[in-house]
Amino acid sequence: MAEDGDAGRTTHQRAASSPFRPDLFAGRTVAVTGGSSGIGLAIAQAFHAHGAEVHLLARDPARLAAAAATMPGSRTHAVDVRDPDRLEAAAAAVGPTDALVNAAAGNFPIPFDAMSRNAWQAVVSIVLDGTANACRAFRPRLRPGSTVTNIVAGYAWTGAPGVAHSGAAKAGVLNLTRSLAVEWAPVRVNAVSPGPIDGTEGMKRLADDLGLRAGIEAAVPLGRLGHAPEVAFACLYLASPAASYVTGACLVVDGGMDAMGPFGPLLGRLPATR
């Protein structure tokens, strides 16, 4: 497991030092939307490091190529998840699939009152429609024993300022996850909810550009931001036989942030004895 001490290592190095068996996904085909960057890239690298044939789906061909260069044998599919026809063609090119991970997302913090209709639509259509589109496109290609893992966020059930579009869409994805877990069994459909993950574009803006790192760390019982491979390990687990009785679940990987609740600021301020 990645620890604070290995912060200088690359994402791929951390994934390669995983506690899972190196050949866990040998002979398996894994498709990752949003696999060209951030958490989706770490997820793709983790599956690749464990023997999977990995397919990356995202829009920008240059970023896809750079990501694929870190995973020999991986393949890329330049596609916007809002485009069902292109997704269908990409899924056909991937062929029989053992695991689909939906990590593609768009987000920008903005108050609801300042959000144009197009701004709302852009985020909701990428996150919610895009996830549904990918599920629909890959459904006929899912092999027996296959899994779908959707990446959500904790504000899907709490709400949060500046993310009404993303929060509403992630809440929809969470519900879609549970409905498909019911309708598609024995295909297992689960969600993973990352907390604040260091080095991602969103966290660079919040933690570094806006200087909020200390405040974010204080809101996490484990006292630090997460590493992308720590989210990837949750995805490996859910796609593995170790999770053979787990479906319709949401695995929260947030250092305890969600457990903190509204009394979090009291942490460390209560008397140690009575």
DSSP 153: -
- Distance (Å, rounded) from C-alpha 210 to C-alpha 142? 43
- Compute the distance between CA of residue 173 and CA of residue 179 in angstroms, rounded to an integer: 10
In the complex with ligand COA, the residue whose CB is nearer, 113 or 183, is 113
Q: According to the binding rule CB under 6 A, does residue 152 interact with ligand COA?
A: no
Residue count, binding to ligand NAP (CB under 6 A) = 30
Query: Does 243 sit near ligand NAP (CB under 6 A)?
Result: no
Number of residues in contact with ligand COA under rule CB under 6 A: 12
Binder among 11, 147, 190, 200 for ligand NAP (CB under 6 A): 200
The entry of ligand NAP, ligand COA, none that residue 110 binds, CB within 5 to 8 Å by partner kind:
ligand COA
Question: Pairing between strand 188-194 and 97-102?
Answer: unpaired
Confirm or reject binding of residue 197 to ligand NAP (CB under 6 A). Answer: yes
Q: Assess 153 for contact with ligand NAP (CB under 6 A).
A: yes
Q: In whole angstroms, what is the distance from residue 56 CA to residue 154 CA?
A: 25
List, as one string, the DSSP characters of 191-247.
EEEE--BTTSHHHIIIIIIS--HHHHHHTSTTSS-B-HHHHHHHHHHHHSGGGTT--
Contacts of 242 (CB under 8 A, 6+ apart): none
- Per-residue x/- marks for ligand COA, 95-134, CB under 6 A? ----------xxxx-x-----x-xx--xx-----------
Binding site for ligand NAP (CB under 6 A): 33-34, 36-40, 58-60, 63, 80-82, 103-107, 126, 130, 151, 153, 194, 196-197, 200-203
